[in-house]
Amino acid sequence: MEHYTISDLAKEFGVTTRTIRFYEEKGLVCPQRQGQRRLYTAADRVRIKLILRGKRIGLSLDESAELIDLYDPAHNNLEQLHSLLQTVADRRDRLQQQLEDVTAMLSSLDEVERLCRDALEANSEALATQRTQQ
């Protein structure tokens, strides 16, 4: 059973300890205590990882929490399974949109890079011409 201190995880994920404690305030993680010190399990570590993954694609902390809770059996009582399916479908739509957005941006960047390289090339050719003329 691996355990981590708060600064272990902060270092690993490139965030501050304040950030991790903040996630606890918000109820996104709930580490054990050894005395007063927080002790994080592998499961806690995964939750934090998922939260940060959510952040990278623009989810709010609450949205990440909601997504993570989809895995929590406690929330998956039968009455809610249908609404859960709807939630999943909605999420999927948004992510699909994100896929399009990201790939669109990537090809925009390709274009910018091409323009940029062309400009540099044109410039260096101009310089070469200038030298041969001297």
Give residues in contact with a copy of itself (CB under 8 A): 53-59, 67, 70-71, 76, 78, 81-82, 84-85, 88, 91-92, 95-99, 101-106, 108-109, 112-113, 115-117, 119-120, 123
* Coil, helix or strand at residue 40: strand
Angle, nearest 10°, between helix axes 42-56 and 17-25? Answer: 100
Does the protein bind DNA through residue 16 (CB under 7 A)?
Answer: yes
Minimum CB distance to DNA smaller for 35 or for 73: 35
Rounded to 10 degrees, the C-alpha dihedral 98/103/106/112 comes to -110
Minimum CB distance to a copy of itself smaller for 23 or for 38: 23
Q: Which does 32 bind (CB under 5 to 8 A by kind): DNA, a copy of itself, none?
A: none
Instruction: Single out the segment in contact with DNA by CB under 7 A; choices: 14-22, 89-97, 99-107, 112-120.
Output: 14-22
Phi, psi of 121 (to 5 degrees): -65, -45
Angle, nearest 10°, between helix axes 42-56 and 61-69? Answer: 130
Q: Which does 7 bind (CB under 5 to 8 A by kind): DNA, a copy of itself, none?
A: DNA
The contact mask relative to DNA for 19-58 (x = CB under 7 A, - = no) is x-xx---x--------xxxx----------------x---
For residue 88, the one-letter residue type is V
Minimum gap (Å) between residue 59 Cβ and a copy of itself: 8
Token readout for 117 is 């390289």
Longest dimension (CA), the chain: 84
